[in-house]
Every structure is written in C-alpha cells, then in structure tokens.
Structure 1
Amino acid sequence: MIAKALKEGVYTLFKGAPNKQYNYKQVSSILDVRDEPTRKLISAILNELVGDGSLVESDRGKYKFNTRKNRFVGRIDGTQQGDAYFVSDELESDVLILNRDLNQALDGDLVSVRIKNVKGKRKVFGEVIKVVERGKSEYSGTIRLGKKFAFFIPDNPKISVDFYIDLTHINGAQNGDKVLAKIISWPKGKKNPFGSVSVVLGKPGENDAEIHSILSQYNLPVHFPEPVEMEANSVSKDIDQNELKKRTDFRDVLTFTIDPEDAKDFDDAISLRKSKNDLWEVGVHIADVSHYVKPNSLLDQEAYKRGNSVYLVDRVVPMLPEVLSNGLCSLRPNEEKYAFSAVFELSEHGKISKEWFGKTVILSNRRFTYAEAQERIESGNGDLAEEVLVLDKIAKALRKKRINNGALEIETEETKFKLDENGHPVEVYQKVSLDANKLIEELMLLANKRVAEFMGKPKDKERVGPFVYRIHDKPSEDRLNDLKVYLERFDYRLELQKNKPASFAINKLLSDAKKKGDHALISPMAIKSMAKAIYSPENIGHYGLGFSYYSHFTSPIRRYADLLVHRMLFDKLNGSPSSNGKIVDSQCKHISGMEKQAVDAERASIKFMQVKYMLDKVGEVFPGKISGVTEWGIFVELHDSKCEGLVHIRSLTDDHYYFDPEKLQLVGKRYRETFGLGDDVLVEVADANLFKRQLDFLLVNG
C-alpha cells in the first residue's frame, strides 16, 4: 500500500464521518489493513493529520475530523502576474492568494493555507502559513552569469522569482545555458531563494536540453532509479511450466498485433477463430503486466508515481523499465507471452453470445502495422486478409451500434513529425484515423466496456466492490448555452432533441459543419463544451462513448489504471476480497492528475517542435485560418503544418483595431475591416522563439 494513497484514504474516512471518532486499530480495520508495519504507518499518519489541523485528538488515542478548521492543505496554482490560486479538495472553490501572502510558496507546492476575510471583498483570500512540500526538487530554466553572482530564470512562467546562484555553485554552466537548479536556502524576509545548478542540460534550442526542460517543468522523470532497474532486470524471463498449468492456452490460435510502425510496447493482440453457428471467437489479449509487477514492489511504486507513459515527439518516457515495457511484457511476434484476456463469441453483426475473462498464454503469429492492415481492408489481398476483413466487419458493426446509442463522433487530428537523423523536424503532418485504426479501437472499447460491466454491474443482489472506472460526465447546461451562443455567430444551431442526449445534436452539428467546410471552426468549441474524462471509483458512465460502464483494461504497459483493473479483475475471478474504496479514490485522483501532466508535456513538446520546424522559415509567407481572437491580437493556424502563431494587434498598422467580444472579432475603427474566427488569411513568419515556444506572424495584405 502506498503511503500517500493511505494518508488520503485515512483523511477521506474522517471527512466522510465528521462526527465519529476512531483509534488507529479501528481505522486499520475499516481500511482492511492487517500487516503490522502498515498499521504503524496509520498511527504516524494520524499524528501528522493532527499536526496539520485536519484532525483533533478527542480522547486519548482517539481522533475526530476538525470541523472548525480554518487551515487547509492543497496545491498552489501560480499565475504569470505573480499572484496564485490555492486548490484543495477540501474547498468547493479556489482561493486567491496575493503575491505578498505567498510566503515563499511556488507554483505546484503543497502548502497549508489560512483563509482570510477581507472587508468589502466577495472573493475568498488566503495566506500561506507553511510550505508542506515543494512541488519540485529541481527546476528547469536558463542561467545568466554576472561578475559576482548568477541568476537562474525558471522556464515556468508561473514562477515569478529568479534564483540567486553563487558562482561556486554553477556546476560549469556557461552564460545562457539551459540547466536544472535546486533551492538550497531561502532566508526569511528575502524575496529570492538561493540555489545551485545540479545539471547542465545544454544550449537553448538543442533537442535534449529542451525536452529535458519540458520533463522537469511537468515534474516527469528522465531515468529510473537504479534499485528499480535492478528489480526489473531480476524478473525471470522464462516461461514457467507450473504457471502455464494455471492459464488457458491460446498458442495454437491465430493471433496477431496491429500497431503503429514505430511501436515497441505491444500492449494488445487479437486472436480469431471460427466458432459454431456462424459465430466468431474474438480474443482481446492484453499483456499480463500484473504477473511481473507485484503490489508494493519497487517497480509498482515507481509505476504508480509515474502514472502512465509519456509520449513526446522524439522519445517515450515509459511507465515501466524497458526490459519490461519493450521486452518481457510486450506481445512481440513468435514469442510465448503471458496475457490477461477478454474472449468473446459474437456474430459478424457484433452481437455477443458468450464472454470469458482470464489469464492466458499466447503466441503472436504476425505483427501488422496499421498501414499493412489498412491495405488488406482496402484491397482484400495479402496474408491473413480474410481474417482482417472479418474483424473489420465486426468492428464497423460495433461502431455503428455505439453511434446509434448516442456516442459522440468527434474527429480529432494528431500532429506528427518526421525527424532527420539529428532529431530536427523536416515535415509536420496530421495523423488520419483509418479503418485499421478504428478496428483496433472498437475491439479495445469492447473489452474495456465488458470488463467494467463484469466488475460494476450488480448480478443477483451481488455486492459490487470498489473499482477504477473511466468516467465522462455529460456537458453542463452552462457549457451547452455557451456553445449555443458561439454557434449563433456563425449561423449554426444546436438542435437538441426531446428525450435524447445532447450528443445526437452535437453529432448532427459536426456533420453539417464538415459538409460546409467549417469543421475546424466548430469542432474545437464542441470539444471545449465537454467535461474531461477522469478515473473514479464512483461510476457515472462515459458520456462521450455512450457507455453506462467503462474502464481501462487494455494498456497496462503504459497506464497504471489498467494495472489496477487487472488486479481487481483477477481478485474477483478468484473470489478474493475487494479493494478499499477510500484507497481506490486516492489512487484515481493521483493517476488522473498524472495523466493531465503527461498530456501537458506532450503538447509542450509538440509546440517546441513546431517552433523549431519554423526556424528556417522566418520571412516566408503561408496561408492559414484565424483560430483565436483576443484583445491583444489574432491567432492563426497554418493550413499545412497546423503551426499556430500570434499576429499582435500592434502590428496591424493600417487602422486602430479593437476587440469585439460579442462577435469574437478585431474591428478597425476607421475602415471597419474585421478579422474573425475561421477567416482565411496570409501571414509572414516574423519570429520563431524557441525559449518561449512561440511563433509571431505578420498579416500580409491581399
């Protein structure tokens, strides 16, 4: 059991029963903790929670939730203006903390905050009482050398203070280098901390320097700790005969993988064989990571900490060491592999007659790239073309049923780069999802959905235990109203249908926009109106997919959520006790947070590569479309590369322009020329700033 998750579980227990008191033995019993070391840890956690004001010791050795609490623990979310917001699960809304009240807290820090009442102010203000834990141990940025000392300027624009660094602590850094720096002291009353350079990353603009800077900015690791690597290397690589006796053998069943051309971590494989009565047996076989990564092991703790693999433009930061992610667990062709499988007997129309979940051993016969599988779907030729076509037919039937049930049909584009031998981007293109991609997508969705139903759907008054659901809430009325207002500016309507989810109206809207060539204009706002999908022990269904039950089962090599699901499913299949709900809730919050960090880092790496791609194109002219309008200018997305840059309002010198928020336009006061969302324009690349990861454009007349 992981200490952080345990602490959150203990806190959630008391918060959920504020009038009850418990001693450490009762807490251990409720959380189903039986081993003595973890029970002692609970005792220490109770004292910590008393120390930070979350609990009070009501009687000797007994604790209660502190209902009169005026101090709360949470994270600092900085702003570029220097103030910050305090975000805590204990509070319904965020709290504003002025710069003078931050008291040495930085963006991302875990802090204790006192709520202040400010006369005449409706907004809630706070003051940092204590920095409980720094959000980062190292910060990425640039070093500036002076004659007597150096300055470290953090990359993170939400950190408004520079670090003083003594010249004896620069670790060989040259002026202007990208570095990682640590805070070594911050004397009381001093505006700036004192730091030291721990790692010199390189020169600004170099791939390694910038990517390591991005990883540091989002608190993502570069390397695995040596003990974790040692544990990974010690895992047995042999197929154990005793283990085989516990598994269903699929080695003689036709099995293959379909993945991107550059994939190395093969999470999933598909098997296919004819069954009786014109039915097909389709096996969705998933790498059995849980066989190798045991709960509370060093590997498990590191995987939980990371939460997921991070896919940057030029590299992958894996959740598991390579010996597991690309080796032992990866379902490579012509190698016997342990799998956790979801096997379905179904018709070509996608109707399921039987299903089975369990541990298996498989032998993949063939590795397809998406392009190879697509060729067989389109031409009907090539090895295993018949089998691929059968799966394609089943997948299309499943997709049609899903859409008819109200699933959203939102097409998103994925920006990809072609890199040269030095890692420099030479081409930017948009990845298109073809039938081969959708084939795998639908089979994975099927497995994820049916596992969630098996775990969460009550049968014969069966008690349903805690589970890791992937949930997606319906859009709020406020967001739908905002979308309606936005659409009216472009003569579109969101035509909601009686007794039908809004997804049907959104699908029709997107279809109409696509026919008129306005998909790029309408789709982003439709997506913005949606809630974010997260992990939760409380099931509310997945609105976007149109599923009442959904989870993540199919990618345990790269997502910790799937590893948890595998363990829970295995426990249920074997009649073992279910997990504790409060611990699962804490785990869900953590992995949802790590997923967001990974997405933000991936976007930052894409933006960096887009700017780098445009470096040698300064002065060139490109066609684009206005993708955003603000009071300081217009954002333009180039048609071919999808690179986005800003045309600053001060560069529009032919008139004095102002921002019309109602029409989302810049309007010229004298000549009344307008620039609005979706307008086609010509722009010249004025600047490509790698440090800020920003592009500046100039509007070209005509």
Structure 2
Amino acid sequence: MKKKNKSQKQQYKLESIGRLILRFMNKKNSKIYNYKQIADGIDYKNPRQRELVIQTLHKLRAQDKIKEVEKGKYMVNLQIKETLTGTIDFALNGNAYVSVEGLDEDIFIHQKNVKDALQGDKVLIITYNFKGRKLEGSVLEVLERAKDSFVGTFEYVKYKDFGFVICDKKVINTDIFIPKSKIHGAKDGDKVVVKMLQWDINSKNPEGEIIKVLGKPGEHETEIHSILAEYELPYHFPEEVEDFANKINREITPEELKKRRDMREVLTFTIDPKDAKDFDDALSLKKLDNGNWEIGVHIADVSHYVQPGTLLDEEAYSRATSVYLVDRVVPMLPEILSNDLCSLKPEVDRYAFSAVFEMNDRAEIVKQWFGRT
C-alpha cells in the first residue's frame, strides 16, 4: 500500500510539474526550448529537480502535448505539420518569410523564431498551424549560408585582447566577436572585412575572423573598397578568363564581312560622354534618294566573341552587368572586350548588331531591318 501511495505521489508530482512546464512554454508557444531553459523557466535549479523536468518532458511528449523537434529540443504541439527547406527573406521589422519550392505562399517566421538565420540563407523549418491563422514556422537549422563575409568597423576591447565588428549593413542583429588570434593586425576603428566562422546556439554573438583591413572610415579608397567587398563585386578577373580573352582573334576577316551589312560609309556617332572608355551604343543617319531617312541603332556585337558555354560566357553570366562606381568600373567582360573589341571607337572597324529602319517626313516607320553589321 505504501509503495502504491509513493507511486501515486510521484505521478501527481510529475503532473504538477507538467502543468508548470506547459504554462511556461505556452507563453511563447512557437519557441523551441531545451530542458535547461525549461527548468530555469519554472525555477527548477538543482540536479534532482532537473531530473524531474526531464522525466516530465518524456511524459508530455508521450501524451503528444509537446513535440521533440530535434534531439533534446521541445516545443508545444501546435498541430505541427512538417519540416520543409527553403530560402529565408527578412522584412525590415525583423520578421521573415521562407519561400519553399512548390508552395504558392511563403511561410511566415516571427523574428523570435529565426534562430541564427541571415538574409538569403537556405534553412530547415518546422511548420505549424495556429487556430484561425495562416501557416507559420520556426527555423530549426541553417543548412547553407548565403553569405559569410561582411564589412564593418572593428572595435577593440582594451585590456581584454579581443574585439567586435559592427557590420555596416544590419544583416546581423548583433556584433561579431573577434578573439585575439583572429584580429590579424586590425586597429580600433578600422574598416574591415570579417568572415563569420561559427554561431553557437547558446551564444549571443557569432565568432569571426578579420580577413582584410580596408582602412580608416571616410577615406575615399576605404569606402570604395568597402562597397566592392560588401556586394562581393569581383574587381579582377580570374587568370584563366583573362588568358582566354587574350587569345581571341581581333582581326576583321573577309569571311565575316560577307555575313554582315556594311555600314562603315554611313554617318555614325556614339551616344556616350566624351570621357567614356567603352562606347556601347551608336546612332547612324542617312538621307535616302526617295526623301526618307534611314535611322540605325547599333550596339557592339558581344555575341561574336562570347560564345555560349565558354569561360567568358560563364564569367559574364555570373557578373550579370557592369557596375559603375564614382571613379571606376567593375566590368562584366575583361578589358580587351569591354574597352576595345566591343567598344564602338571612332575610325575603327567594329562588329555590331543593328536595328535599321526607314522613316518618312511624318516620322512614320515604313521599313525595318535587324541584323549583324
């Protein structure tokens, strides 16, 4: 009889602890907790009490009142549906949405449930339904970082031999911790590029390593290189791409001329400023015998030199466009192409692609032609 009473008392105790746990977890019912966080939340601090918390968690899980979303981590069972993989996109208020291939609508993630995810990361999420609300989710794990290098200002903590990097763009909601061994010569106040190495689940700050010192904030070269680094703009081309470009045949061949309409005797002028290095576009104008005007719009025929599937094609695809900064250009193609072979320079024969149309005095187009010139 005494044994039975003892067993009943233990049962009542676990049920009582279970109510405490559920009350605590329901305050933030989409958050994921480990047993230590739950024990602290109900003020169960000593080892014996924590053992009871673990027993109770197993019981609640067996009763389907809570869900073990990954080993040792629990959340209230909110009609959990499934785990999905997608790309996370943050709103300005800190909340986020995860787009999943095959789903029409993005899944909402409250800012308290984004874990250590950053903009554009590939993440594993768990989804659940709140009564009367749309599908929501919580980030379980970052599967792949979209970016792990950031630009920021280094702050050295005097007498402690470590520091922090405050990122220029608020892509991370906390500073990056830099241990002494990872400072690599940076001085207090320097603008730097930092590589994020790890972000432990119980740590407020990710740990990083300074991989480049850009200079002092406000200086022209520092700020330009900050832009290049922040947006990962590739200022230099890989050696193999440069070598490939330098082997291109630069001659205007008779065989190629036969395939093209010759516009070299037509008045043609570029529409770039006189200090431009690359002349991409040109206009031509010619009075026809019938009184109409022949207008030509010309662009450099890049496709003649950049063939599909080549190193040049792949490099241009990855860059997508040329980027113009205040004092320099990050080109889409190596200089031999962007500033020479694909630049419509004065008095130099160049391959082009053209739209030529005939226009009458009422500005009506009566004829048009498209092709290589």
Secondary structure at 1:290's aligned position in 2?
helix
**1:156 equivalenced with 2:173 (yes/no):** no
| Residues in 1 aligned to 2:344 and 2:235: alpha-carbon distance in whole angstroms | 25
Please give the residue correspondences for 1:42-53 in structure 2 after superposition, counting only pairs within 5 Å: none
**What amino acid is aligned across from residue 289 of structure 2 in structure 1?**
K
Larger helix proportion of the pair: 1
Cα gap change, 1:226 to 1:340, in 2 (>3 Å): same
Task: Name which of 249, 255, 262 aligns with 1:249.
Answer: 262
| Residues in 2 aligned to 1:272 and 1:288: alpha-carbon distance in whole angstroms | 20
Deviation per CA, 1:354-402, whole angstroms, max 9, x where unpaired?
A: 1111111xxxxxxxxxxxxxxxxxxxxxxxxxxxxxxxxxxxxxxxxxx
Normalised TM-score (structure 2): 0.71
2:316 corresponds in structure 1 to 303
Please give the residue correspondences for 1:372-391 in structure 2 after superposition, counting only pairs within 5 Å: none
Deviation per CA, 1:101-151, whole angstroms, max 9, x where unpaired?
A: 22321123233433332356x354322244343222421111111223121
1:109 corresponds in structure 2 to 121
Cα gap change, 1:101 to 1:149, in 2 (>3 Å): same
| Residues in 2 aligned to 1:281 and 1:136: alpha-carbon distance in whole angstroms | 51
| Residues in 1 aligned to 2:232 and 2:142: alpha-carbon distance in whole angstroms | 18
| Residues in 2 aligned to 1:156 and 1:90: alpha-carbon distance in whole angstroms | 31
Cα gap change, 1:264 to 1:298, in 2 (>3 Å): same
| Residues in 2 aligned to 1:94 and 1:311: alpha-carbon distance in whole angstroms | 34
Cα gap change, 1:113 to 1:222, in 2 (>3 Å): farther
Deviation per CA, 1:650-680, whole angstroms, max 9, x where unpaired?
A: xxxxxxxxxxxxxxxxxxxxxxxxxxxxxxx
Task: Name which of 144, 147, 167 aligns with 1:136.
Answer: 147
Cα gap change, 1:113 to 1:229, in 2 (>3 Å): farther
| Residues in 2 aligned to 1:235 and 1:85: alpha-carbon distance in whole angstroms | 46
Cα gap change, 1:345 to 1:116, in 2 (>3 Å): same
| Deviation at residue 187 of structure 1 after TM alignment | 3.4
Secondary structure at 1:345's aligned position in 2?
strand
2:249 corresponds in structure 1 to 236
2:194 corresponds in structure 1 to 181
Cα gap change, 1:125 to 1:305, in 2 (>3 Å): same
Please give the residue correspondences for 1:141-220 in structure 2 after superposition, counting only pairs within 5 Å: 141-146=152-157, 147-220=160-233
**1:125 equivalenced with 2:154 (yes/no):** no
Cα gap change, 1:114 to 1:107, in 2 (>3 Å): same
**What amino acid is aligned across from residue 194 of structure 1 in structure 2?**
E
Please give the residue correspondences for 1:449-460 in structure 2 after superposition, counting only pairs within 5 Å: none
| Deviation at residue 321 of structure 1 after TM alignment | 2.1
2:25 corresponds in structure 1 to none
Cα gap change, 1:240 to 1:111, in 2 (>3 Å): farther
**1:294 equivalenced with 2:342 (yes/no):** no
Secondary structure at 2:355's aligned position in 1?
strand
Q: Structure 1 stretches (4+) deviating beyond 6 angstroms?
A: none
| Residues in 2 aligned to 1:168 and 1:70: alpha-carbon distance in whole angstroms | 39
Secondary structure at 1:200's aligned position in 2?
strand
- Aligned pair count? 291
**What amino acid is aligned across from residue 169 of structure 2 in structure 1?**
N
Please give the residue correspondences for 1:254-333 in structure 2 after superposition, counting only pairs within 5 Å: 254-333=267-346
Secondary structure at 2:241's aligned position in 1?
helix
| Residues in 1 aligned to 2:350 and 2:129: alpha-carbon distance in whole angstroms | 62
Secondary structure at 1:336's aligned position in 2?
coil
1:401 corresponds in structure 2 to none
| Residues in 2 aligned to 1:219 and 1:119: alpha-carbon distance in whole angstroms | 44
CA contact (8 A) 2:82 2:126 kept: no
Secondary structure at 2:154's aligned position in 1?
strand
| Deviation at residue 240 of structure 1 after TM alignment | 2.5
Please give the residue correspondences for 1:234-633 in structure 2 after superposition, counting only pairs within 5 Å: 234-360=247-373
| Residues in 2 aligned to 1:182 and 1:115: alpha-carbon distance in whole angstroms | 31
1:628 corresponds in structure 2 to none
2:96 corresponds in structure 1 to 84
| Residues in 1 aligned to 2:357 and 2:206: alpha-carbon distance in whole angstroms | 60
Normalised TM-score (structure 1): 0.39
Please give the residue correspondences for 1:16-27 in structure 2 after superposition, counting only pairs within 5 Å: none
CA contact (8 A) 2:162 2:183 kept: no
| Residues in 2 aligned to 1:319 and 1:69: alpha-carbon distance in whole angstroms | 43
| Deviation at residue 205 of structure 1 after TM alignment | 0.8
Cα gap change, 1:275 to 1:315, in 2 (>3 Å): same
| Residues in 1 aligned to 2:317 and 2:219: alpha-carbon distance in whole angstroms | 31
Secondary structure at 1:273's aligned position in 2?
strand
Cα gap change, 1:149 to 1:299, in 2 (>3 Å): same
1:529 corresponds in structure 2 to none
**What amino acid is aligned across from residue 123 of structure 2 in structure 1?**
V
**What amino acid is aligned across from residue 331 of structure 2 in structure 1?**
P
Cα gap change, 1:136 to 1:245, in 2 (>3 Å): same
Secondary structure at 2:318's aligned position in 1?
helix
| Residues in 1 aligned to 2:339 and 2:354: alpha-carbon distance in whole angstroms | 19
| Residues in 1 aligned to 2:275 and 2:212: alpha-carbon distance in whole angstroms | 31
Please give the residue correspondences for 1:26-65 in structure 2 after superposition, counting only pairs within 5 Å: none
**What amino acid is aligned across from residue 227 of structure 1 in structure 2?**
E
| Residues in 1 aligned to 2:128 and 2:82: alpha-carbon distance in whole angstroms | 13
| Residues in 1 aligned to 2:107 and 2:225: alpha-carbon distance in whole angstroms | 32
| Residues in 1 aligned to 2:91 and 2:229: alpha-carbon distance in whole angstroms | 17
| Residues in 1 aligned to 2:208 and 2:353: alpha-carbon distance in whole angstroms | 49
| Deviation at residue 72 of structure 1 after TM alignment | 4.0
Identity %: 53
**What amino acid is aligned across from residue 339 of structure 1 in structure 2?**
A
Secondary structure at 2:340's aligned position in 1?
helix
Deviation per CA, 1:427-467, whole angstroms, max 9, x where unpaired?
A: xxxxxxxxxxxxxxxxxxxxxxxxxxxxxxxxxxxxxxxxx
Cα gap change, 1:177 to 1:266, in 2 (>3 Å): same
Cα gap change, 1:94 to 1:315, in 2 (>3 Å): farther
Deviation per CA, 1:151-195, whole angstroms, max 9, x where unpaired?
A: 111111232022222222222211111111112233343332221
Secondary structure at 1:197's aligned position in 2?
strand
| Residues in 1 aligned to 2:214 and 2:367: alpha-carbon distance in whole angstroms | 55
| Residues in 1 aligned to 2:277 and 2:356: alpha-carbon distance in whole angstroms | 24
| Residues in 2 aligned to 1:279 and 1:127: alpha-carbon distance in whole angstroms | 67
**What amino acid is aligned across from residue 228 of structure 1 in structure 2?**
V
Cα gap change, 1:230 to 1:134, in 2 (>3 Å): farther
| Deviation at residue 82 of structure 1 after TM alignment | 4.4
1:54 corresponds in structure 2 to none
Cα gap change, 1:227 to 1:126, in 2 (>3 Å): farther
Cα gap change, 1:345 to 1:226, in 2 (>3 Å): same
Deviation per CA, 1:247-294, whole angstroms, max 9, x where unpaired?
A: 222122221112224322211111222223211111111100111111
Cα gap change, 1:110 to 1:219, in 2 (>3 Å): farther
| Residues in 2 aligned to 1:224 and 1:116: alpha-carbon distance in whole angstroms | 47
